[in-house]
Amino acid sequence: MISVVLVGTGNVAQNLFQALDKTAHVKVEQVLGRNPEHLTFAIDKAPLNTNFDNIPNADVYILAVSDNAIATVAEKFKNKKGLVVHTSGATSMQELKDCDRYGVFYPLQTFTIGKTISFQDIPICLEVSNINDRQLVQSLGKSLSNNVQFINTEERRALHIAAVFVNNFTNYMYTMGEEICMDNGVDFSLLLPLIKETAAKLDNLPPLLAQTGPAKRGDQNTLHNHLKFIKNKQQREIYTLLSNAIKRTHGEKL
């Protein structure tokens, strides 16, 4: 049995809590957050606490707080004997260096408040300051997911940047797709099967080989017609830059 104190009230904290709460090998000793109103997600399920000066002992303290709060929150844990981990892709493990034992527990997924997703397939990226803590953090990870990996701070930073491209920027492509549909009175939901299949293709094909479209084909006629159609300046800029990048990547001379 691993005892855990979970700190935080946002998307990651809430999703982690739901997963940990269902796990037989884990006991959530306490959920800790500054604002009692934001702790309601764990009410009647775990002890709640808003007092950072009165934290119980636990095997692992998970700081699922926003990146810029990690260092400040970690202050409160520097005299604790348990392992202190943060859940951030973008933050160095060294932000926790004043704690006795520290590490990273980064679930590589996008979380939405109110939408519970299974942790089973979520890659959990682990890092620890002390080799003796590998087993503890690994067994906590494995209690939630079948995909647990040790990843150092530099590798995690690369993964996090890659995640910005495939998640944040991809979602922005969806946003522009929806804008174009709305501006022209067509239903964005017509594009959902295409969106799902674009992602599903990656199971069989690396994205470099899955590329299709007018820029990939060097189809100047369609590229020209599309730019004539798009009136929004920001959409035009993005259309042009990405089409040129695809042409360059796929070897057509500009």
**Distances, alpha carbon 90 to alpha carbons 54, 70, 94, 152, 219, in Å:** 29, 11, 12, 12, 39
| Residue 108 interacts with a copy of itself (CB under 8 A): yes or no | yes
Q: How far is the CB of 21 from a copy of itself (least distance, A)?
A: 21
Question: What is the total count of residues that contact a copy of itself (CB under 8 A)?
Answer: 90
Residues numbered 232-251 forming contacts with a copy of itself, rule: CB under 8 A: 234, 237-239, 241-242, 245-246, 248-249
Q: Indicate which single residue of 69, 180, 218, 252 sits in contact with a copy of itself (rule: CB under 8 A).
A: 180
The stretch near a copy of itself (CB under 8 A) out of 15-23, 54-62, 118-126, 133-141 is 118-126
Nearest to 108 by CA among 15, 214, 193: 15
Query: Which amino acid, 159?
Result: L
Binding mask 63-102 for a copy of itself (x = CB under 8 A): ----xx---------------------x------------
* Cα distance between residue 62 and residue 59, in whole Å: 10
Residues numbered 139-178 forming contacts with a copy of itself, rule: CB under 8 A: 147, 149, 151, 154-155, 157-178
Residues numbered 185-204 forming contacts with a copy of itself, rule: CB under 8 A: 185-186, 188, 190-204
DSSP string, 17-73: HHHHHT-TTEEEEEEE-S-GGGGGGGTTTS-EE--TT-----SEEEE-S-GGGHHHH
Cβ neighbours, 10 Å, residue 115: 9
Distance of CA 133 to the CA centre of its chain: 24
Nearest to 4 by CA among 34, 31, 33: 31
| Residue 51 interacts with a copy of itself (CB under 8 A): yes or no | no
Cβ distance to a copy of itself smaller for residue 50 or 112: 112
The stretch near a copy of itself (CB under 8 A) out of 27-35, 52-60, 70-78, 221-229 is 221-229
Q: How far is the CB of 227 from a copy of itself (least distance, A)?
A: 10
Interstrand relation of 101-107 and 124-128 (parallel, antiparallel or unpaired):
antiparallel
Cβ distance to a copy of itself smaller for residue 43 or 90: 90
